[in-house]
């Protein structure tokens, strides 16, 4: 496989349980303390905690502005993260050719809490009491739709749904659409605010969630021997991508390069990862080949690391098999929980920050990886490391494997 | 004098985030940038707050806030006197 042209990442926007904005999120992730806490929306359920963006709906509405009344929480988070990313990239929506701007925001499940509320209204009070907003609130593509409206972005837009890989899928698609000259700027990443009583109970019934109700902040512990599941989270991670020559022409040095993307499918089981990890490995190898990197060039892995027994075992085995030179490994879900469809976007942005700051954040709640994992996990404190090439893994229910290779410009 | 106008005012500012200085009895819903989706949601919220159902033709984009108030007051008076 011949290497492909990288694309420039010129802007980052984050709104996560670590805080509002990229700086606040980076600081929280570097501090390495879990953000999970009891969640009033989940009171009385077997798993009653989650990682929430620390802003109320009122606070979000004030920031979003007049159109917030018709938006679910995912759309609000998407709009705020996208505005930050576009500002950071030095673009002004008033000036750009909106027809050449793509909006690609992955979303796993949509605004299910509002959907459930409307179902209760239908059952309890009748059809007349169902809000006319039931559908627009719940549609998973309306994060992309509202962002496009907010930015005047009239090029192609879509919300890829590859469950927990959705954000990474959006970034890989953005790279392809830029390469194919379908757009000049791509606003891409992931958004999710799908913490509801039913979604949380559903994940719990699958055995996917941590049950550490007595110690929520310590519940998400990727690669730990005593990990027992992931923690529900919400957030948005949006990046601005453009062709390297276009970024150079307007005098914007890239913050990092998206140098390669690999996407494969297990074709094995709806929710369990293929135990041999061969398709995830193929995604990793494709991303490296596209980036013109050999496995030993990879300095750092931003792991999917969900803190579930199965994911972390398959992923640890994959990293130690394909990257046996022990690159540093971090997993942001220890701090931020698992923001499902947003995770790939958030973690790609964090990987950019690691490349820029030469700093690898620690995995929260981990003193050492489980003894059977041959991984160099960064624990307790951030590690200073001259990272030139890194990979970010995203693996989703449905057997979706997406690996992004990012490099320093 | 009923609280109908106050309720309308509060729904417009809190739910629809319309700046207070734009709201006055002679404004039409269109002038407040209420589209058809917004009007349908507006009608549902008023129904829940005032326990009367606004008829669609009495809350169109051309209706003023004073007219909505009057219509709701009529409905409310009727529902109180109804057996």
Q: At residue A188, does pLDDT exceed 70?
A: yes
CATH code, A7-249: 3.40.47.10
Q: Which residues 17-76 of B are in CB contact (within 8 Å) with A? A: 17-18, 33, 37-38, 40-41, 44, 47-48, 53
Enumerate the residues of chain B whose CB falls inside 8 A of the CB of residue A68: 17
Contact state of A69 with B17 under an 8 Å Cβ cutoff = yes
What does the pLDDT look like over A97-116, one tens digit per residue? 999 999 999 999 999 999 99
Span A30-42, average pLDDT: 98
- Outline where A65-111 has alpha helix (H): 73-88
Tell me the three state secondary structure of residue B34: coil
In sequence order, the 6+-apart residues with CB closer than 8 A to the CB of A377 are: A223, A328, A329, A330, A331, A363, A366, A368, A369
Helix crossing, A278-291 with A309-322: angle to 10°? 50
User: From residue A14, how far is each of A70, A165, A340, A347, A402 by CA, in Å?
Assistant: 22, 17, 15, 10, 20
Distance from CA of A192 to the nearest CA of B (A): 23
Q: What are the phi and psi torsion angles at A119 (to 5°)?
A: -65, -40
How many Cα atoms occupy the beta-carbon half-sphere of A237 within 13 Å? Answer: 35
- ipTM field: 0.90
Does the pTM surpass 0.95? The reply is yes
Q: What confidence category does residue B81 fall into, taking pLDDT thresholds of 50, 70 and 90?
A: low
Q: Do domains A7-249 and A256-407 have the same CATH topology?
A: yes
Residue A150 is predicted with a pLDDT of 98
What does the pLDDT look like over A336-364, one tens digit per residue? 999 999 999 999 999 999 999 999 999 99
Distance from CA of B35 to the nearest CA of A (A): 11
Enumerate the residues of chain B whose CB falls inside 8 A of the CB of residue A133: 37, 41
Number of domains in chain B: 1
What does the pLDDT look like over A229-247, one tens digit per residue? 999 999 999 999 999 999 9
Q: Distance (Å, rounded) from C-alpha A93 to C-alpha A4?
A: 29
- Tokens (6 digits) for A299: 């300095």
Residue A1 is predicted with a pLDDT of 73
Distance from CA of A103 to the nearest CA of B (A): 24
How many Cα atoms occupy the beta-carbon half-sphere of A374 within 13 Å? Answer: 10
CATH superfamily of A256-407: Thiolase/Chalcone synthase (3.40.47.10)
Enumerate the residues of chain B whose CB falls inside 8 A of the CB of residue A136: 37
Q: Which of A275, A254, A290 is nearest to A403 (CA)?
A: A290
Q: At residue B1, does pLDDT exceed 70?
A: no
> The domain that contains B13 carries what CATH number?
1.10.1200.10
Contact state of A70 with B18 under an 8 Å Cβ cutoff = no
Active site residues of A: 164, 304, 338
Enumerate the residues of chain A whose CB falls inside 8 A of the CB of residue B41: 69-70, 131-133
The whole domain housing B10 covers 4-81
Contact state of A70 with B48 under an 8 Å Cβ cutoff = no
What does the pLDDT look like over A266-319, one tens digit per residue? 999 999 899 899 999 999 999 999 999 999 999 999 999 999 999 999 999 999
Residue B79 is predicted with a pLDDT of 83
How many Cα atoms occupy the beta-carbon half-sphere of A342 within 13 Å? Answer: 39
In sequence order, the 6+-apart residues with CB closer than 8 A to the CB of A66 are: B16, B17, B18, B33
- Tokens (6 digits) for A71: 């938006």
Q: Which of A223, A113, A70, A98 is nearest to A157 (CA)?
A: A98
Indicate if the alpha-carbon torsion angle A347, A348, A350, A354 is positive or negative.
positive
Would you kindly state where each structural domain of chain A is located, as residue ranges?
7-249, 256-407
DSSP result, A125-192: H-GGGS-TTHHHHH-TTHHHHHHHHHHT--S-EE----GGGHHHHHHHHHHHHHHTTS-SEEEEEEEE
């Amino acid at each position: 496989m011949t290497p492909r042209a990288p694309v420039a990442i010129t802007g980052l926007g984050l709104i996560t349980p670590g805080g509002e904005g990229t700086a606040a999120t980076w600081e929280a992730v570097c501090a390495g303390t879990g953000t999970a806490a009891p969640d009033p929306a989940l009171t009385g359920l077997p798993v009653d905690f989650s990682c929430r963006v620390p802003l109320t709906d009122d606070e979000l509405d004030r920031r979003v502005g007049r159109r917030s009344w018709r938006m679910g929480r995912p759309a609000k988070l998407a709009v705020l993260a996208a505005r930050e990313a576009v500002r950071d990239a030095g673009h002004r929506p008033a000036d750009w050719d909106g027809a050449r701007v793509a909006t690609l925001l992955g979303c796993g499940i949509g605004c299910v809490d509002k959907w459930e509320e409307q179902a209760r209204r239908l059952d309890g009070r009748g059809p007349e009491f169902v809000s006319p907003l039931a559908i627009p609130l719940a549609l998973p593509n309306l994060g992309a739709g509202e962002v496009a409206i907010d930015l005047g972005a009239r090029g192609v837009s879509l919300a890829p749904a590859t469950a927990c890989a959705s954000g990474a899928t959006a970034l890989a698609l953005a790279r392809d659409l830029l390469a194919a000259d379908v757009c000049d700027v791509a606003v891409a990443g992931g958004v999710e605010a799908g913490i509801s009583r039913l979604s949380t109970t559903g994940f719990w019934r699958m055995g996917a969630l941590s049950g550490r109700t007595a110690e929520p902040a310590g519940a998400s512990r990727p690669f730990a021997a005593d990990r027992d599941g992931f923690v529900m989270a919400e957030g948005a991670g949006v990046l601005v991508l453009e062709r390297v020559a276009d970024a150079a022409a307007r005098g914007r040095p890239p913050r990092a390069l998206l140098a390669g993307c690999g996407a494969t499918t297990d074709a094995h089981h709806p929710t369990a990862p293929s135990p041999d990890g061969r398709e995830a490995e193929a995604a990793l190898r494709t991303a490296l080949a596209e980036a013109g990197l050999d496995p030993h060039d990879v300095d750092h892995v931003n792991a999917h690391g969900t803190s579930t027994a199965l994911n972390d075992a398959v992923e640890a085995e994959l990293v130690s098999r394909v990257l046996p030179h022990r690159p540093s490994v971090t997993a942001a879900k220890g701090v931020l929980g698992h923001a499902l469809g947003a995770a790939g976007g958030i973690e790609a942005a964090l990987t950019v920050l690691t490349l820029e700051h030469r700093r690898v954040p620690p995995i929260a709640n981990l003193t050492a990886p489980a003894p059977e994992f041959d991984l160099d996990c960064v624990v307790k404190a951030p590690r200073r490391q001259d990272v030139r090439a890194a990979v970010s893994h995203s693996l989703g229910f449905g057997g979706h494997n997406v690996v992004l290779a990012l490099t320093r410009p | 004098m009923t609280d109908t106008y106050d309720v309308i005012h509060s729904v417009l500012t809190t739910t629809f985030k319309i700046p207070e200085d734009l709201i006055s009895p002679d404004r039409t819903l269109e002038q407040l940038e209420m589209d058809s989706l917004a009007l349908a949601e507006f009608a549902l919220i008023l129904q829940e707050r005032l326990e009367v159902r606004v008829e669609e033709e009495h809350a169109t984009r051309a209706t003023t806030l004073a007219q909505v108030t009057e219509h709701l007051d009529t409905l409310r008076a009727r529902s109180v006197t109804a057996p």
